[in-house]
Amino acid sequence: MALRFPPGFTWGASTAAYQIEGAGPPGSRGTSIWDTFAARPGRVRDGDNGDLACDHYHRYPEDVQLLEALGTGAYRFSVSWSRLQHAGRGPLNQRGIDFYSRLVDALLDRGIEPWVTLYHADLPQPLEDAGGWPARDTALRFADFAAAVHHFLAERVTRFITVNEPWCSALLGYASGEHAPGRTDPAAALRAAHHLLLGHGLALEAIRSIAPAQAGITLNVAPVAAATEHPDDADAARRVDGLTNRLFLDPVLRGEYPEDVVRDLSPLSNFGFTADGDLAAISAPMDFLGINYYAPQKVYGTPDAPPVEQPSRYPGMDRLGFHHTGRRTAMGWSIDASGLTGTLTRLTRDYPAIPLYITENGAAFDDEVTGGQVLDHDRIDYLDEHLRAAHAAITAGADLRGYFVWSLLDNFEWDQGYSKRFGLVHVDYASQERIPKLSAKWYRDVVQANGFD
Ligand code: FCB
């Protein structure tokens, strides 16, 4: 069926610094928590790290050409904090400024609007050594960093995403330990969540004090359903929804932490880390909310649940089970585009009046290069289904203004290293050759038509 997105709809592709850049010339980037984590045996699959990644630091002109060929009017990337401030504080490093200036100019020359994420998972190691996100000072350091970045980009960039997926940084980084810095301290994870949100609020204020900008935060929001009708499962679903979605949405969009979540967490924390004025800063008006959507979750809370597939990411819920059903991606995540419609309509209902952008959506599959081509029909199906699902939400009244595919390039998928490929463009990590997949051609047609015929 032919579908058209609203006029002016933003089409884009997303990446993040640590996942694509590589270190660059010796001494040009400080150490981040991902460098340290990846160097620890057994933490990242196959011992992979971000030292070279897609070598985007050197190959960005070719990558900008790939974007131009896609025809997207926008590109979302993140700046590496440890490239711009090796120690996480002080004046910005000139080599780092020059790199991002060249990148931004190359984008603008081709009419591609830069969307800059200020924090995407790669905290400078010296700040982790000083306490990391569980320490309040990190939020203040981040606000300073955000102001400095906006200062040098202000004349060329008007779109900023403060923090990407604070849930991941806080809960995977400090509770389950699956991501850097790999700590397993649930109470620290809650402090980290608060300080990531505070960092967002303070950064927003700092950015706006420099020059006008369109700014927001990106959250990973997903529907959470009980695996059965058992009341224990229903309660587990409420708790997981609270910790995944509402713990972040409510402070940002309502200026308060959800009461039931605070109650659930009371054995771990009294939320005493919330100082006067914090929630006002965190809920300062934003221009948009970014949503990263991959898959819905099904949750068991009963003791006879199937075995837990992963360490608990949820403070206070050690026995929690997750379930992925039906078709799955190479990550093992279930493919269910109705969850995207549900997420967008839920946001429209529960948190009205904030423009929405899908800042990440996409899928990893076990792509194969055959005769110089990657015929990734499964990825095309995934994207097709999710775009139709997003369109359905618009028809139902969601104020969705744009869509960014994750990702432009195959890249370093955190603890999964280079084993999971999310790109529209295939990367041969040995030769650094890029091959646009069939999905890139398909996406170019969608962008050009502003929908489907
Ligand atoms: C998101 C991250 C992004 C990428 C995708 C697959 O959680 O923001 O960097 O790894 O997942």
The Cα 6–Cα 391 span in angstroms is 9
Residue 288 is predicted with a pLDDT of 98
| Backbone angles phi and psi of 13, in degrees to 5 | -135, 150
Residue 303 has pLDDT above 90, yes or no: no
- DSSP string over 355-417: -EEEEE---------BTTB---HHHHHHHHHHHHHHHHHHHTT--EEEEEEE-SB----GGGG
Residue 445 has pLDDT above 70, yes or no: yes
Is 209 buried (19+), middle (13-18) or exposed (0-12) by CB count in 10 A?
Answer: exposed
If you average pLDDT over residues 227-255, what whole number do you get? Answer: 94
Element (H, E) at 74: strand 74-78
If you average pLDDT over residues 70-96, what whole number do you get? Answer: 98
Sorted by where each starts, the structural domains of the chain and their CATH numbers stand as 3-452 (3.20.20.80)
Q: How many CA atoms lie within 13 A of 226 on its CB side?
A: 14
Residue 275 is predicted with a pLDDT of 98
Residue 299 is predicted with a pLDDT of 87
| Backbone angles phi and psi of 52, in degrees to 5 | -115, -40
The Cα 318–Cα 324 span in angstroms is 18
Residues annotated as catalytic are: 165, 360
Residue 320 has pLDDT above 90, yes or no: no
Computed over every residue of the chain, the mean pLDDT equals 95
The pLDDT confidence band at residue 323, using thresholds 50, 70 and 90, is: confident
List Cβ<8 Å contacts ≥24 apart for 431-436. Answer: 432/54, 432/55, 432/59, 434/62, 434/63, 434/66, 434/409, 435/369, 435/372, 435/373, 435/374, 436/66, 436/69
Residue 321 is predicted with a pLDDT of 67
The Cα 33–Cα 41 span in angstroms is 14
Nearest CA to ligand 1 atom 4: 413
Residue 115 is predicted with a pLDDT of 99
Residue 65 has pLDDT above 60, yes or no: yes
Regarding predicted confidence, which is higher, 2 or 400?
400
CA 328 to chain centre: 20
The Cα 391–Cα 266 span in angstroms is 40
The answer for residues whose C-beta is within 8 angstroms of residue 400's C-beta and 6 or more apart is 344, 356, 357, 358, 390, 393, 394
Whether the Cβ atoms of residue 83 and residue 29 lie closer than 8 Å to each other: yes
What's the pTM? 0.97
In sequence order, the β-bridge partners of residue 216 are: 161, 288
| Backbone angles phi and psi of 181, in degrees to 5 | -85, 5
Helices 136-153 and 186-210: angle between axes, nearest 10 degrees: 30
Residue 119, ligand 1, Cβ within 6 A:
no
CA of 277 to the centre of ligand 1 (A): 31
CA of 1 to the centre of ligand 1 (A): 30
- At 327, list the tokens: 């078709």
Residue 122, ligand 1, Cβ within 6 A:
no
If you average pLDDT over residues 99-116, what whole number do you get? Answer: 98
In sequence order, the β-bridge partners of residue 404 are: 12
Residue 292, ligand 1, Cβ within 6 A:
yes
CA of 231 to the centre of ligand 1 (A): 32
The answer for residues whose C-beta is within 8 angstroms of residue 315's C-beta and 6 or more apart is 171, 175, 186, 187, 189, 190, 243, 265, 268
Whether the Cβ atoms of residue 107 and residue 64 lie closer than 8 Å to each other: yes
Residue 384 has pLDDT above 80, yes or no: yes
The pLDDT confidence band at residue 308, using thresholds 50, 70 and 90, is: low
Q: How many CA atoms lie within 13 A of 385 on its CB side?
A: 18
Residue 160, ligand 1, Cβ within 6 A:
no
Residue 77, ligand 1, Cβ within 6 A:
no
Residue 314 has pLDDT above 80, yes or no: no
In sequence order, the β-bridge partners of residue 321 are: 300
CA of 19 to the centre of ligand 1 (A): 9
Residue 310 has pLDDT above 70, yes or no: no
Residue type for position 447? V
Residue 360, ligand 1, Cβ within 6 A:
yes
Whether the Cβ atoms of residue 19 and residue 412 lie closer than 8 Å to each other: yes
CA of 222 to the centre of ligand 1 (A): 14
The Cα 417–Cα 43 span in angstroms is 10
The Cα 432–Cα 72 span in angstroms is 23
Residue 262 is predicted with a pLDDT of 97
The Cα 60–Cα 392 span in angstroms is 35
**Ligand 1 site-directed mutation target among 360, 361, 407, 424, most atoms within 8 Å of CB:** 360
If you average pLDDT over residues 121-140, what whole number do you get? Answer: 98
Q: What is the pLDDT of residues 151-208, one digit of tens each?
A: 999 999 999 999 999 999 999 999 999 999 999 999 999 999 999 999 999 999 999 9
Residue 128, ligand 1, Cβ within 6 A:
no
Residue 425 has pLDDT above 60, yes or no: yes
Residue 319 is predicted with a pLDDT of 59
If you average pLDDT over residues 50-64, what whole number do you get? Answer: 98
Nearest CA to ligand 1 atom 10: 413
